[in-house]
Chain A
Amino acid sequence: MTDGTSRPIVEDGHLYVIPMRSSTPLPVFDVETGDFVTAYTGGTRGVLDSGRRRLHTIGDALRAFDTESTVALWKREQPPLGMTIDETENLYLAGSSYSLDDDRLVVGAMTPTAAFYTAVDVAITDVADVPGALARLDPASEEPAPR
């Protein structure tokens, strides 16, 4: 299950509680009992990639964790929520939201005049593989988003 909002996430018998501040750890609880299981470095949004058993947290940075070992896989600096990243015509990804689209973590935001998104390849396994610049989802699109 992916989410991309501040709602708690339920997956594999665990409850992931998204913190309100990115400086606060993201705790995980047993969904049946409420017992504490573990905690990850925080983010104000969370996206769970069930297939890869990855947790992505988005706050002051974009981070990836292995949910089996709880090991941090990689981290990259991320513009604040809602900041302009790139211009597209895609309406679906707007709304300052995050979702998983095949192999990419898509980061979207919308302003009164345009919608923006960017995407990060989530298949990477090591911090050395993190690209220097955020990848565009549709390189052919150069036009501003419609109103």
Chain B
Amino acid sequence: MTDQLTVGDEAVYAVGEVAIAIDPATGDIRWKHEHAGHCWCPPTVTDRNSTGGNVYFPVKSEEGGVRIVALERTTGDVSWTDSTRDYSTLSPTTDGDRVYVGVDGGLQALDATTGNPVWQSDLPGGLLAPPTLHDGMLYLSTGGHVVAVKTATGTLAWNTPID
């Protein structure tokens, strides 16, 4: 199966049935993390200056549930995992302080360091692509709508139907 890659500041991260960090200069594997299940999207990596120095990705278990995994970027140690909601298999989005992930019928903001929930926003339709972050706003494409959500509160700034 094809692993999904993301190039970070310090390493290349590949996630599939396992997660690995690869030295960009030598190709050596720096760390490897095994998880039960599979990730189908590129992982999301915080930059070196952010507070939550993690690699984030969703893992779908054989039973079908999807959890979010946060690994410490430099060691591969588990920072936190959350399986209390049925998350989307799309890549998360992060601003370093929070992680934004799709959930059934909406969008969930989690604390990037602890994984604790911050807010949840209901969306008009399921998330079709990972959110885009820009100037304190998240832009999302859902089934039949384009939506702007404020990162601070999770409230909708605008909602435009697509014909």
Q: Is the interface of B mostly helix, strand, loop or mixed?
A: strand
Q: Pick the residue among A5, A15, A33, A95 that contacts B139 (CB under 8 A).
A: A15
* Bound: A110/B4 CA distance, A: 9
The range of chain B's interface size is 20 to 34
* Bound: A121/B131 CA distance, A: 29
Choose among B3, B5, B42, B157 the residue with the greatest number of A CB atoms under 10 Å from its CB.
Answer: B5
Q: Do B146 and A27 touch (CB < 8 A)? A: yes
Q: Do A34 and B146 touch (CB < 8 A)? A: yes
Q: Pick the residue among B22, B129, B162 that contacts A27 (CB under 8 A).
A: B162
Q: Is the interface of A mostly helix, strand, loop or mixed?
A: loop
Distance in angstroms from B160 CB to nearest chain A CB is 4
* Bound: A95/B137 CA distance, A: 27
User: Which chain B residues border A91 with CB–CB below 8 Å?
Assistant: 5, 12, 22, 27
B21 within 8 A of A: no
Q: Pick the residue among A20, A27, A34, A92 that contacts B158 (CB under 8 A).
A: A34
Distance in angstroms from A112 CB to nearest chain B CB is 7
Q: Do B2 and A36 touch (CB < 8 A)? A: no
Q: Do A18 and B139 touch (CB < 8 A)? A: no
B-binding residues in A (CB < 8 A): 5-10, 15, 17-18, 20, 27, 29, 31, 33-36, 82, 91-92, 94-97, 110-112, 146
| In the complex, the 7 A-B pairs of residues with the closest C-beta atoms, listed nearest first | A34-B158, A95-B5, A34-B160, A6-B129, A10-B134, A8-B132, A8-B139
